[in-house]
Structure 1
Amino acid sequence: AAARAAAVRAEAEAAAQAAGSEFATAGARSKPLTMFEQFCKQTSQDVFDRGSWMLNPAPPTPETIWQLQVMGALIGLCLRTRATLPFELAVTVWQGLLGETCTLAEYERVDKAQADFVARVRDNSDPNCPNMEEEVYNAVYGELVDFTIARSDQQTKVDLKPGGASQQLTYATRHEWAALAEAYLVHECDVQLAALRAGLSQIVPLESLYLLTPTELERLVIGEKDWSVLDLKRGAEVRGHHEAVQYLWEVLGEFSPEEKALFCRFAWGRSRMPERCAGVKFIVELVPLRGQLPVAHTCFFQLDLPRYTSKEVLKEKLLSAIYYCKDMDLT
């Protein structure tokens, strides 16, 4: 018990399973706390991090600060123990954890429409009417834009400077407005990021992370979505001999990143692999063929694989299992 980073007691769960060697997160079924906002809408085509979670920009309460510190500590535990947790966070959060401030161009990844609008105002580059004369510019923007900006959760507007709501944007003030808007967007969640970093620093010295890029830090904490089947196969234990095993590797190699995530969730209770499948032991147990679907034991990352006689049948059965057998709970 002394070697464990944490212990969790699950209550009112109907699923019966053994306590295996792996930590099953079942992250795809969990709803993040209110300290996060999924404003990178999955349905929007204007963001690159669709479906990711950003920090909630609402003024944090003492409870929220404490929650963020705990979250930061959990991220530190992931780095210390090489466990992974499903923190599907926007790239700007990973940058902030490293003490970096994103640029307006990088902010496009979470809200391209807002970043583009700031750039259009600053550069007088409206695609429908570029390089407007001052009088036309004032007519287009003056009635619609003042020195306020919508918070990223779209719940309220904030002044970019004192009395901003009563000051209209003009051609002469466009650079001032754009500079204030950019500064607000990239520093909107500084207080929340500071709380995350405070929690992280209790587990891992922040200086030790400065050689990492945001993408490298993300992979260390949450793992890889598009992992290599060769990496998985390298640490696999196959119990028995049958051609179905080769079919399994071939089918997994043809899976899309989304299907790989579904496979992980079905077989292991998580949606990603550790980087390069490091430390992962995937067990394939061959069982008699009785027409059934594959069976998963998520605590041990074990797949009971029937001895299918063709690759096509195996693919059909495995896809049925990962798409329709997503829940561990038996109720």
Structure 2
Amino acid sequence: MTELPSQGDMIAINFDTVRASIKDDHGLNTMFNQAYEQLYDKAQVLFRRQDERLWKAQYLGMHSTDAGGPYRDSITCICSDICSERLPLFILCPNGRTNSGSNCDRWIPNVYSPDKLIPNRTKNQYRFVGQLMGMAIRKKNYLDLKFPMLLWKQLVREQITSEDIEAIDIQSFTLINEMEKTMPENDQSIDLDDVLSSILDELRFEVVSSNGSTFDLVPNGQEIPVTIANFKEYCASYRNYRLNEFHRQIEFIRQASELEEAVCGKGEIDVELLKRNTNYGSPYSQDAPCIQRFWIVLGSLFTEEQKKLFLKFVWGRCTLPNRDEDFTTRFIINGFDITNGSVDGALPRSHTCSFVLDLPEYSSTDVMYDRLNYAITYCSSIDGDGNMNEMPDSAILIDD
């Protein structure tokens, strides 16, 4: 993701520390939530700016001038809220709650019923955590986030194991491990109730989650007893739940902190995304036949490599922003009056500084393809903002 130049005055974020000291059930008063409410909609662009500090922290009722100290303090307070009970996003891991095993100070994503949707506000707050992580990567503003290894592994799509779960919940697999050891491998005549009587009186298709809640492993699982016939299915369902318990929450964080996209942008050019962020100058409109031909060429006839060459030709870069709200400059397609020679013989003209394409009104899709392909292949260093370098065709029209 390309870093953006400084935009002048730094945005001011107001923090009410008195309000933040008042506990509430949903964390609305926290420094994290105060930052979220003022920054979330702007973060995709703001967090990519070149400025050393991305906002000016203004503490209400205090007479401090933010020369860097209040900014760093606000980040520290935000991280402190993330790893606390003041927000519904993360909980202390089971080892921490029972003071047993390792990683007792690590925080894990809160747990939600697998068959219920996570509230939209909560989703966006997880995304905001991801945006803060992306900011930390770019600015080296290291965050004091006490997350266990399994969370970091999932963020980078590394496979987690039972050992990763046991590292934050030492009791997580004790029960089924004992059951599997006790379960006879060959003697199918032994009643499961006799085998398991010393471990558990009643066992159903349920699981106790990391926050202590009990969820069904299958629909109506609380009504389905574990039997010798479904014992292996129960163990598989149990393990699958525990290994994927935080999958949705991690996905929301990753959506905003995807390392590859944060550094490189999306690998493919999303033509529909570009189309939604395009304006048209006279005499064109989105319904003009020439514009329809243009989008057919770019969207259907060009290869991925040609699309990247086109983007470099008109904008000087090979990737698009990831989302609509990331566009700080819209693509503009203007008409191009040709006064010397035929329209079909002329090449388009680009202005990379302003993301503008001057497009002749070509007579057919085939001509459109040929002229655009020639321009992006041989004229990537030529645009209306600069000079002509190694110009291969005198039909190219350039304005300085």
Using the alignment, how far apart are the partners of 1:133 and 1:158 within structure 2? Answer: 26
Structure 2 residue aligned with 1:90, among 148, 171, 182? Answer: 148
SS state at 1:10 partner? strand
Q: 1:40 to 1:139 in 2, by over 3 A?
A: closer
State whether structure 2 residue 96 is matched by structure 1 residue 47.
Answer: no
1:31 match: 81
Structure 2 residue aligned with 1:101, among 152, 159, 170? Answer: 159
1:68 match: 126
Q: What is the TM-score normalised by the length of structure 1?
A: 0.53
Structure 1 residue aligned with 2:220, among 146, 152, 163? Answer: 163
Alignment gaps of 5+ in structure 1:
126-131, 209-331
CA deviation vs aligned residue, 1:77-105 (integer Å, no higher than 9, x gap): 11112120111112211111011231112
1:10 match: 58
Using the alignment, how far apart are the partners of 2:146 and 2:76 within structure 1? Answer: 13
8 A contact 1:57–1:151 mirrored in 2: yes
8 A contact 1:149–1:159 mirrored in 2: yes
State whether structure 2 residue 222 is matched by structure 1 residue 173.
Answer: no
Using the alignment, how far apart are the partners of 1:81 and 1:119 within structure 2? Answer: 45
2:172 match: 114
8 A contact 2:79–2:144 mirrored in 1: no
Alignment gaps of 5+ in structure 2:
1-5, 8-49, 184-189, 268-400
Structure 1 residue aligned with 2:208, among 140, 150, 160? Answer: 150
Using the alignment, how far apart are the partners of 1:98 and 1:181 within structure 2? Answer: 24
SS state at 2:215 partner? strand
SS state at 2:262 partner? coil
1:136: how far off?
Answer: 2.7
8 A contact 2:101–2:167 mirrored in 1: yes
Using the alignment, how far apart are the partners of 2:59 and 2:221 within structure 1? Answer: 51
Q: 1:206 to 1:29 in 2, by over 3 A?
A: closer
8 A contact 1:76–1:204 mirrored in 2: no
8 A contact 2:127–2:253 mirrored in 1: yes
Structure 2 residue aligned with 1:203, among 262, 286, 306? Answer: 262
Using the alignment, how far apart are the partners of 1:139 and 1:74 within structure 2? Answer: 50
Using the alignment, how far apart are the partners of 1:54 and 1:92 within structure 2? Answer: 9
SS state at 1:37 partner? strand
1:78 match: 136
Query: Based on CA coordinates, which of the two structures has the bigger radius of gyration?
Result: 2
8 A contact 2:207–2:217 mirrored in 1: yes
Q: What is the TM-score normalised by the length of structure 2?
A: 0.44
Q: 1:204 to 1:34 in 2, by over 3 A?
A: farther
Using the alignment, how far apart are the partners of 1:15 and 1:113 within structure 2? Answer: 51
Q: 1:38 to 1:188 in 2, by over 3 A?
A: same
8 A contact 1:40–1:47 mirrored in 2: no
Using the alignment, how far apart are the partners of 2:95 and 2:56 within structure 1? Answer: 31
